Structure 1
Amino acid sequence: MTASPLVTLFLPLALGIIMLGLGLSLTLADFARVVKFPKPVLVGLGCQILLLPLVCFLLAKGFQLEAALAVGMMLLAASPGGTSANLYSHLAHGDVALNITLTAVNSVIAVLTMPLIVNLSLAHFMSGDQAIPLQFAKVLQVFAIVLGPVAIGMFLRSRFPGFAARMEKPVKIISALFLLLIIVLAVAKDWRTFVDYAPVVGLAALAFNLISLAVGYFVPRLFRLSQRQAVAIGMEIGIHNGTLAIALALSPMLLNNPTMAIPAAIYSIIMFFTAAGFGWWVNRAHGRELAAGA
């Protein structure tokens, strides 16, 4: 597949705007909160970084996904939580401050863990002539593409809080439109593969999404975290940054494989419906707890 100028220019620009929007919503206090409340952050990161890649690997093997699709699933599992998790957590009475902190910390950690997980996945699922490992230079590119705009957004918020507050909503709207365009681009670039594999990949993505939400909610409850914290972690883990996974899969500078983008594209559609259902369920549970305590 040859890289078109549209893909070469559009993907870094789209991802940059999306990550800039993330930066506009973050402050240094979001990172400092880890020191004050380490337990929920460590539980959330443990689920995200350790449990989910293992679950995703078992699902990819269980569904017998084609090699590029299996790597795409692992790329999705390695992606940090999406910014939409904050909104869903708020609607479901979750701890939004914890969501913001997890997003901030995991976005930094993912720059290191994503290349590691992708390289291991390429080595396992793809033959030597197919594998395109993410080498150190490409890791630096991921670092610049992901964290550069976040740092700019955080700087703007710290120096020009009024401007950042006014821009946060428009940037979120633009980010949502870019997400839609990236999904359309991912599907259009490999339409035949999408049609052939959508049913099985859709089932694998749905299973991974539901398990992610369950792990994110029930594991914190096992560690005796509060209902609000468990809801926040569930949303953070269940709503992955599919945009980042798609951009890395499609980027000519990185993986340059549209088939690897298909799982994230399907997941990005599924997760909004399942997250809404999860939010409705925990809201009912929250209501029952309040009624029992009255």
Structure 2
Amino acid sequence: MDFLINVGLPLSLAIIMLSLGIGLEIADFRRVLTRKYAFAIGAFCQVVLLPVVAFAIAYLFGLPPEIAAGFMLLSFCPGGVTSNILSKLAKGDVALSVTLTAIISLLSILTVPILAAWSVGHFLGEQAPDVSIAGLALAMFLITTLPVAIGVTIRSFARSFALRIDKGLSTLATTLFVLIVIAALAGNWTVFAENLGTMGASLVALNVMLLLLGLGLGRGAGLSWQETKTISIETGIQNSTLGITMAGLITGTATGFSVLALPSAVYGITMYAVSIPFILWYRSR
């Protein structure tokens, strides 16, 4: 388990972000300038709306402090590759999805450390570990931003090679993620079992509410149906691997997974069960 925590966890996230970068082109970043309105709606949903809703649900469900802090960590995470795949399956606006994922993932190096430090201090109070915002930002740069930059560079200068390794990277990242989720649940089985009912219900509620809010906001803003489907998915789907990694970095746990990682680990399972009905409905329209 120590190997999974110290090596497998950051490696898995780095591979996931490298895979994201491999699938990106410079045009995906330039698209922000030509689709400002749709991007602004999606960015607002991810950066502002998502944490606000998560904070409200954490209080409404009366989550224990460590679980609530982990719940908030999850809400600060961008969509990741999963949201791009689901947007494609839903016949949404994949280009918009990719652009949102790319930009918000890069911005997370600034937003996540600050928000994470605040949420841990807010929910854990005097028992909160010392959180180094600069240290978190550096760690996030090394395991998220840098792999994305490397991936984009490879895609730009060796496109055929990038296309060949893309599928293999995604498979490897998925395998590592599954192992990490299993280990996170096994390492905190007692806490997991005691809080499964409340935590599971709160995560499902968060997922459903965000998918619906993204849908409603997209329609209300007058976006196209394809754009609206993508906004809904980008709002409701988070990179749970980043949430688990952040939990480990904050607590400095070396001999077991932090309790703060549980919401992200459980979400890594429940998000598929919740999102599949939405994806099927979106795909049929």
Asked if TM exceeds 0.5, the reply is yes
1:133-152 aligned within 5 A: 133-152=131-150
- How far apart, in 2, do the equivalents of 1:9 and 1:174 lie? 14
Moved more, 244-253 or 205-214: 244-253
After superposition, where does 1:75-90 map in structure 2 within 5 Å?
75-90=73-88
Distance across 1 between alignment mates of 2:228 and 2:3: 43
Distance 1:28 1:255 in 2: 37
1:259–1:107 distance in 2 versus 1, CA, 3 Å: same
Q: Distance in 2 between matches of 1:14 and 1:162?
A: 24
State whether structure 2 residue 107 is matched by structure 1 residue 109: yes
1:175-254 aligned within 5 A: 175-251=173-249
- Contact kept, 8 Å, 1:75 with 1:245, in 2: the verdict is yes
Kindly indicate whether the alpha-carbon contact (under 8 Å) linking 2:51 and 2:76 is maintained by their aligned counterparts in 1. yes
Q: In terms of mean alpha carbon deviation, does 131-140 or 161-170 score higher?
A: 131-140
What does the per-residue CA deviation read over 1:153-211, in whole Å, with 9 as the maximum and x for residues that have no partner? 11111111001001111111111111111111211221111111111100000000001
Count of aligned pairs between the two proteins: 283
Query: What is the CA–CA distance in structure 2 between the aligned matches of 1:53 and 1:252, rounded to whole Å?
Result: 18
Which residue is 1:25 aligned to? 23
Q: Could you list the per-position Cα deviations for residues 240-285 of structure 1 after superposition, in whole angstroms to 9, with x for gaps in the alignment? A: 100111112124775776211111111111111222110122234x
TM-score, with length taken from structure 2: 0.95
Question: 31, 34, 42: which is aligned to 2:32?
Answer: 34
Deviation string, structure 1 residues 43-101 (Cα, Å, up to 9, x no partner): 00001111110110010011111111101111110000021212221121100000000
The aligned amino acid for 2:137 is V
Match of 2:166 in 1: 168
Q: Give the counterpart letter for 1:88 in structure 2.
A: L
Does the alignment pair 1:264 with 2:249?
no
Structure 2: how far apart are the matches of 1:201 and 1:250? Answer: 19
Q: Structure 1 vs Structure 2: percent identity of aligned residues?
A: 36
Q: Which blocks of at least 5 consecutive residues in structure 1 are unaligned?
A: 287-294
Contact kept, 8 Å, 2:129 with 2:250, in 1: the verdict is no
Aligned equivalents of 2:40 and 2:222: distance in 1?
Answer: 13
Q: CA RMSD, aligned part only?
A: 1.6
Partner of 1:155: 153
**Change over 3 Å in CA distance of 1:250–1:148 after alignment to 2:** same
> In terms of mean alpha carbon deviation, does 178-187 or 135-144 score higher?
135-144
Matched residue SS, 1:126: helix
What are the ranges of 5 or more consecutive residues in structure 2 without an aligned counterpart?
A: none
Deviates more, 1:233-242 or 1:54-63: 233-242
User: What TM-score, normalized by structure 1, do the two folds share?
Assistant: 0.92
Q: Could you list the runs of 4 or more consecutive aligned residues of structure 1 that deviate by over 6 angstroms after TM superposition?
A: none
CA distance in 2: counterparts of 1:242 and 1:221, whole angstroms: 27
Secondary structure of the structure 1 residue equivalent to 2:138 = helix
Give the whole-Å Cα distance in 2 for the aligned partners of 1:134 and 1:213.
33
